[in-house]
Amino acid sequence: MPAFAGQTPPSAARRASSPPALLGRLVPRSVLGLARLATARGHELRSCATLLVASALAVAAGCHRDWRTDMWYQPAVRSGDAVRPQPPDSIPLGAEASLADRDEAEPLVNPVAVSPTSLERGRALFASRCAPCHGAEGHGGGPVSRLFPPAPDLAYFAVKARSDGYLWGTITFGGKAMPSQREGLTVSDRWDLVNHVRHLQSRGAGRSPSP
Ligand code: HEC
């Protein structure tokens, strides 16, 4: 089967016991037996044997076609055979808008509604990604702040006054000193973080005076 050279068929065992192979093994034995009979019993039998051999061959020839109907055995483009061209103006699933910097993100509207699920995800991400600098409650004083430019209290009024898009942009692109937190966070992860920061802000003023 040259069309599928190099491919591993899913069931080689099935192929071994397929009808043509079985006939191939059975036909020669019966033909031999019939031929012996023919020499022993005479002319009529010989012609009968010829007839049988001819019909056996015809059946075997008819069996030559591949009966398998599963879709593996068909002309196909296997995954990885060729790079499929991307249609023009198409955007990969899950791709985010291409923004140059935080300022471009400022007008974005938060598409993720505040919900227990979003807040819970935001809380978990905040604990691992932001708390080391901004503190567990977001009011500054995280352990990294001792070695780094101090991270501000996120409940400070100037931060409260920022748009959701600006907060999302800060997480995505970083700030003057804050490193970008985009890596490993999906678009909606970052909106969950914004929702959590809003939640922290709603819980009252913090300690440090300015961002
Ligand atoms: C390595 C320390 C560090 C980490 C981690 C960090 N920040 Fe910051 N962040 C800072 C510092 C320092 C500033 C103030 C200077 C600046 O804007 O870069 C800041 C500023 C901010 C501001 C205020 C921006 C403004 O101009 O009003 C927000 C909002 C903020 N961070 C959110 C977050 C969130 C949310 C996370 C977690 C996803 C996070 N930060 C992770 C250090 C950090």
pLDDT value at residue 64: 55
DSSP letter assigned to residue 80: T
The closest residue, in CA terms, to atom 40 on ligand 1 is 130
Determine the pLDDT at residue 40: 53
Closest CA to 150 of 137, 172, 164, 135: 135
Residue pointed to by tokens 């031999």: 32
Pocket test for ligand 1, best of 119, 144, 162, 178 (most atoms within 8 A of CB): 178
193 lines ligand 1 (CB under 6 A): yes
Residue 29's pLDDT is 56
* Residue 175 Cα to ligand 1 middle (Å): 6
**For residue 150, which atom of ligand 1 is closest to its CA?**
12
Q: Is 178 in the pocket of ligand 1 (CB under 6 A)?
A: yes
Task: Per residue of the chain (211 residues), give pLDDT as tens.
Answer: 444 444 445 444 444 444 444 444 544 555 555 455 545 555 565 675 777 776 666 555 555 566 777 777 778 888 888 887 888 888 777 777 789 999 999 999 999 999 999 999 999 999 999 999 999 999 999 999 889 999 999 999 999 999 999 999 999 999 999 999 999 999 999 999 999 999 999 986 555 544 4
Which pTM was predicted? Answer: 0.64
- Whole-number Å distance, alpha carbon 95 to ligand 1 midpoint, is 24
How far apart are alpha carbons 45 and 34 in whole angstroms?
8
- What DSSP string runs through 101-145? SHHHHTT----S---HHHHHHHHHHHHHHTHHHH-TTSSS--GGG
Q: N- to C-terminal Cα distance for the chain? A: 71
* pLDDT attached to residue 128: 97
Residue 133 alpha carbon to ligand 1 centre in Å: 8
Closest ligand 1 atom to Cα of 158: 27
Q: Is ligand 1 within 6 A of the CB of residue 105?
A: no
Residue 23: what pLDDT? Answer: 46
